[in-house]
Amino acid sequence: MNAAAGTGRLVRVVGAGAVGARLARAILAAEISVDLEIDDVKPDVTRALITGLGDRARAVGELGVGQPDPAVVVLARPKSHIETASKALTAGISVVSVCDDVDDVRSLMSLDRLARRNNATIVVGAAMSPGLSGLVARHLASRLEHLDEIHVAIHGTGGPECAIQHHRALGGTALGWTDRAWMERPAGSGRELAWFPEPIGAKDCYRAEMVDPLVLPRAFPEVERVSARMSATRRDRLTARLPMLTPPHPEGGLGGLRVEVRGHRNGERIALVAGLAERTAVATAHVAAVFALALVHNELPPGLVLPGDAALDTERLLDRLSAAGLVLHEFVGTESRSSW
Amino acid sequence: MALSMAGMIAGALRIRGKGGVPPQNGGWRELPLDES
């Protein structure tokens, strides 16, 4: 088990945006003995958040020379996370990253050896997708005798940076895991109608430059196909390769996650579908908070940790998310009709 | 001229249509976490 350096009850949250602010509140609400350090490039944003959090939160460096290192650093700011993560791991401090950028996540996954060498842990993709998608997939897979496909779809965005990433993802190159091999397709192609939990309902979703096909095959070595799609409007798709025409909204609206696993049970081929309708920033914050607190409690092994990995106690993590207020749903009553 | 026509046709093809038919029955229920 991990024995992180620094003070075991101090967590540093890097980024005080839509996700970071909720993450800080979620950690303080869930664990009474944890203190927080907030680190953001905008001092006024940091100060405003700390004022709202009370006396268990302070700005990084507020105590001056000699202040203790945190046990965990949670990276909730826009990419890139690689430099901060490398420095923290080198110092033996565990890291949780909510990054959903493919290149950044690929780099973060390469820090496994550095983390192990320093007896620290790096949790990569502790967001809604990736993150909650892997946990839900693991939960559904436990009902199958053999899992061979995972298909993820998301709707909505968190804060402004997430909206920018969403826009970028529709204009990039989509990864897919097909027959145990990587496949690249143009983002914005491959339209499928995905049915999200109410009140979101049915949304047309498209391939996009998303992280799930990169991380899920590693967390589920037996899986043969992984795809990821995101909902988009006609305007989103037409303007995907242009600069954003309108500034992103400071607070994303209701978001959705849909995870479909396929495999065999009792000799039959079946598909199981589960999902979530929640503000994307809220869901992401709770997932990151649950992983950060699992690190505080030394519940995660050293090295690279990917949500959904069989070595994790996924049910306990999901129970904590449920206790925090995230309500997962499963689709029942008819077989999935999606073809992907 | 030909290039702009091709671009317009490609754009129209890119945004038209729908991605499928939603399920005609069934629905969502809360996921029981202790069932597995």
Sign of the four-CA dihedral A282, A112, A259, A231: positive
| A115 and A92 housed in the same domain | yes
| A265 and A302 housed in the same domain | no
Digit-coded pLDDT (tens) for B2-19: 777 777 766 655 555 555
Q: How many CB atoms lie within 10 A of CB A104?
A: 20
Residue A143 is part of a domain; what is its CATH number?
3.30.360.10
Strands A328-332 and A268-279: antiparallel
Chain B hits for A133, Cβ within 8 Å: none
Domain annotation covers residue A15:
yes
So what's the pLDDT on residue A5?
44
So what's the pLDDT on residue B16?
56
DSSP assignment of A99-151 equals ---HHHHHHHHTTHHHHHHTT-EEEE--BTTTBHHHHHHHHHHTT-SEEEEEE
Task: Print pLDDT tens along chain A (340 aa).
Answer: 343 344 568 999 999 988 999 999 999 999 888 999 999 989 899 999 999 998 889 988 766 666 778 999 999 988 789 999 999 999 999 999 999 899 999 999 999 999 999 999 999 999 999 999 999 999 999 999 999 999 999 998 776 776 777 777 777 899 999 999 999 998 888 889 999 999 999 999 999 999 999 999 999 999 999 999 999 877 777 777 777 667 666 666 789 999 999 999 988 999 999 999 999 999 999 999 999 999 999 999 999 999 999 999 999 999 999 999 999 999 987 655 444 4
Domain annotation covers residue A28:
yes
| A161 and A244 housed in the same domain | yes
Q: Do A332 and B17 touch (CB under 8 A)?
A: no
Domain annotation covers residue A335:
no
Query: Nearest by CB to B27, which of A193, A333, A337?
Result: A333
| A97 and A152 housed in the same domain | no
Domain annotation covers residue A120:
yes
- Strands annotated E in A15-118: 35-39, 57-59, 70-75, 94-97
Q: A41 is in which domain, residue-wise?
A: 7-127+284-320
Domain annotation covers residue A336:
no
ipTM of this complex > 0.85?
no
Chain A hits for B29, Cβ within 8 Å: 329-330, 332
Q: Using CA coordinates, name the residue in chain B closest to A141.
A: B36
Query: Nearest by CB to B23, which of A142, A327, A334?
Result: A334
Q: What is the DSSP letter of A172?
A: S
Length of chain A: 340
Q: How many CB atoms lie within 10 A of CB A87?
A: 12
Give residue A209's identity as a one-letter amino acid code.
E
Q: Do A204 and B19 touch (CB under 8 A)?
A: yes
Supply A204's token pair. Answer: 């047309």
So what's the pLDDT on residue A320?
96
Domain annotation covers residue A237:
yes
For residue A330, the SS3 value is strand
Q: Do B29 and A237 touch (CB under 8 A)?
A: no
Residue A31 is part of a domain; what is its CATH number?
3.40.50.720
| A136 and A262 housed in the same domain | yes
| A18 and A116 housed in the same domain | yes
Burial class (CB in 10 A: 0-12, 13-18, 19+), A208: buried
| A184 and A272 housed in the same domain | yes
Chain A hits for B33, Cβ within 8 Å: 139, 315, 318-319, 322, 328
Say whether residue B13 is in contact with chain A using an 8 A CB cutoff: no
| C-alpha distance from B1 to closest chain A C-alpha (Å) | 20
Domain annotation covers residue A248:
yes
Q: How many CB atoms lie within 10 A of CB A207?
A: 27
Instruction: Report the number of secondary-structure helices (H) and strands (E) in chain A.
Output: 11, 16
Say whether residue B31 is in contact with chain A using an 8 A CB cutoff: yes
Say whether residue B12 is in contact with chain A using an 8 A CB cutoff: no
Domain annotation covers residue A337:
no
| C-alpha distance from A327 to closest chain B C-alpha (Å) | 7
| A116 and A137 housed in the same domain | no
| C-alpha distance from A271 to closest chain B C-alpha (Å) | 14
Supply A225's token pair. Answer: 């196909």
So what's the pLDDT on residue A232?
86
So what's the pLDDT on residue A249?
66
| A294 and A245 housed in the same domain | no
Q: Using CA coordinates, name the residue in chain A closest to B19.
A: A192
Supply A232's token pair. Answer: 């988009």
Burial class (CB in 10 A: 0-12, 13-18, 19+), A29: exposed
Task: Give phi and psi for A269, each to the nearest 5.
Answer: -90, 125
| A252 and A146 housed in the same domain | yes
| A219 and A301 housed in the same domain | no
Query: Nearest by CB to B25, which of A197, A205, A334?
Result: A334
Domain count, chain A: 2
| A98 and A174 housed in the same domain | no
Pairs of CB atoms within 8 A across A/B: 75
Q: Using CA coordinates, name the residue in chain A closest to B21.
A: A193
pTM for this structure? 0.88
So what's the pLDDT on residue A161?
72
